[in-house]
Structure 1
Amino acid sequence: MSTPHLPAPDRYDSMQYRRCGRSGLKLPALSLGLWHNFGGVDTLENAGQMILRAFDLGVTHFDLANNYGPPPGSAEETFGSVLHSKLAAHRDELIISTKAGYRMWPGPYGEWGSRKYLLSSLDQSLKRMRLDYVDIFYHHRPDPDTPLEESLGALVQAVRSGRALYAGVSNYPASLAAQAADYLREEKVPLLIHQPSYSMLNRWIEDGLTSVLEEKGVGCIPFSPLAQGLLTNRYLAGIPMDSRAARPTGFLQSSAVTEEKISRIRKLNDLAVERGQTLAQMAVAWILRLPVVTSVLVGASRVAQLEDTVASLQKLEFSADELSRIETILREP
C-alpha cells in the first residue's frame, strides 16, 4: 500500500484565500489546473509530485474536466489515484472541480449541454476520481441548441442530489452569465463561479462580464493567464523549436506570435524585471489586481514551475505608474 502523504504543517501560512463572490467559500489565490501534463500520456510520478507540492504550498483547489488528458478522462483518473493513495485523509481540505460540455464520447449524448449528457458525465467523473461528490460542477461551454434552463437545471439536480456542492459555468458571455445567475438564484442553487479565459493579451471579460459577475455576486477564476505561454520568457528571442507555437497543431499557432507581439512582450518583461519578478509572475499578479477575481487557474509541467508561479504572490501590488505603463505597452499596434 502506498504511504499517505504527510502535508507541510505550514501549508496555510503564506497562501492567500479569497471569498468566492458572495458565497461562504474561499479559494486559494492560485488554483492548479490539470488540463495538461496530468493525462495518461504523462508520467504519474511527476503528476503526483506536482499535486502534493501544490497542497504543501496551500493550493487547496484542483480543477479538472471530463475530457482532460490525453486521452480524455485520464487526468481525472490520475488525480483520483493520487488522492486515494496520498491525500484521502485530507479530502475535506480540498476543493475539487470538474466540468462537462466538450466532446467526451461518440454519439448525440457525448457533448454540449443536455441533461442526459451533463449528469451522465458527472457520474463518470465521480467514478474515475473515486469520489462521492465534487465541490464544483461546471457547464464547460454554452450550448446554442439546448435551452439554457435545461443545462442549468442539470447543475441544480447535481447539487440537490449531493453529487456537487456548488454550480459553475465556463466560457459564458456576459448576457448568458447574467441569465444563468438569475435562473440559479431562483432555484436556490446560486451560481458560485465563472471560469473564463483572461490574460494581458486576452481581455474580453472586461467588456461586460466582470460587471455582471460583480453585480450578481459571482466569483471569477480565469484560465490561460499566460496566454498559452506567450507571457513567459519563452518567446523573447522568437519561437523555440520545442514550444507550443512550433507544433503543427495546438492552441497557440505560430501565426499568432508576430514580431509586433514579441516586441510588446519584451517591454512587459523589462517592466517585470524592474519589479523583481519574472514576466509570468507579473502576468498572474496583474490578473489578481481585479477585485472580482477569486483565484487564477495555473498549469505546470514540473514542480519548479509551480513553485515559481506561487512566488508571484510575494508581489501583487502595482503602482499607478506601472499599471499605466502596462496599458501603454498593450495598446501598441
Structure 2
Amino acid sequence: MLEDQVAFLLQKYLGNYVRGLNKEALKISVWQGDVELTNMQLKPEALNALNLPVKVKAGFLGSVRLKVPWSRLGQEPVLVYLDRIFILAEPATQVEGCSEDAVQEAKKNRVREMEARLLESRQQLKSEMNTSWLGSLINTIIGNLKLSITNIHIRYEDLESNPGHPFAAGLTLDKLSALTVDDSGRETFATRGALERIQKSVELERLAFYLDSDVSPWCVDKPWDDLLPSEWSQVFEYDYKDGKPSNAHAEEHTYVLQPVTGKAKYSKLRADESKTSGQALQKAVIILDDVTLCLAKDGYRDILKLADNFSAFNQRLRNAHYRPRIPVKSNPSSWWRYAYKAVSDQMKKAR
C-alpha cells in the first residue's frame, strides 16, 4: 500500500517536470526500498504553470535517491539524496495572445473549484488519520526525514532587460543537509510521542549568489538535450584549483553574496511546555561564517533593468487573452481594440 503511494507521488510530482522517468522501474525500485533516478533533464515547460517572467532554457537532475527501510519503517529514517541540480534560465518576456486563453481560464476556474472541494475532504480525512496508526506512521516518517542536497547551480542569463549589456545571475550551493537531533546535538530518531517536541539540525556549505555584468551567455557545441552527464558537470560544476575555477564556463564571478558556510537549528516545543516556560513554540537559530555582501554599480543597474522588464511582463500577462496574434502594421484596428479592452478592464478593477 505504502509502496504504491510513494511511486504514485514520485510520478505525479517529478513526472510533470523531468524527462527520463520510467514508471515500471520506479514502481519496482520503490517496492525494493531503494529508489535511484539518474540523469534526468528538466522540461522547458516546468515553470510555465507559475506564470513567471522566466523560462527554463536547459535543466539537468543528476541523481535522486530515496532509501525507505520498509522492514524498520517507524524505527529508522527515510533518506533523501539529491545531487547535481543544474538549471539554465532566460527571460520569458514574449507574451502572445491565444484564442484558447479564455477556454483555458475557464478550465482553471473549474479545477480551482474541484481543488477546494478536494481540500475540504482531505482536511476531514486528515483529522481521521491523525488518530489512526497510518497517520501516526506518516507523521513519524516526515518528522525523521533525513535530507542531503549537493551540487546546485541555478543560472539566469538575460540579453533583453538591458540591451547591449547582457548579464547573468546565479545561485550555487555545494551542500545542504538536514537531520533530526536530540538536545545534545546528536542524531536521533523521534518516535510517536517525541514528535511533539522535535529538533532539526541543518548544515550549509558554500552558498553563494553572483551577478555578472556585460558577460556573454554560455554556449555549448551541441543542443543542451544531447549533452552527456559528464558534459553537464563540466559546464556547471566548479573544480577549484589555486582558489580559481578550472573549467571553461566557470568564470570568476562578481559575487553579491560570497560563498558562505554555516549551520542552523530548528526546534519545536510542546504546546504545554511553551506556555509554562514562556519560550517560543518554534525557534530557528542560524549561524553563518564570514558573510560578505557586495553589489557593484553595474549590478545595481542590471537589477533595476530586470525589475522594469519583469513589471512589463506582468502587465502584458494580465491582458494576454486580448493580445492580437498578428503584427501591428497588418491590422492596426485590432491592436486599438486590444488597447481599449485592456484599459477598460483596468478601469473596472479600479472601480
Q: Given the two structures, how large is their TM-score scaled by the length of structure 1?
A: 0.22
Q: Given the two structures, how large is their TM-score scaled by the length of structure 2?
A: 0.22
Of Structure 1 and Structure 2, the greater helix share is in 1
* Greater RCO structure (CA 8 Å; 6+ sep): 1
Larger radius of gyration: 2
Of Structure 1 and Structure 2, the greater strand share is in 2
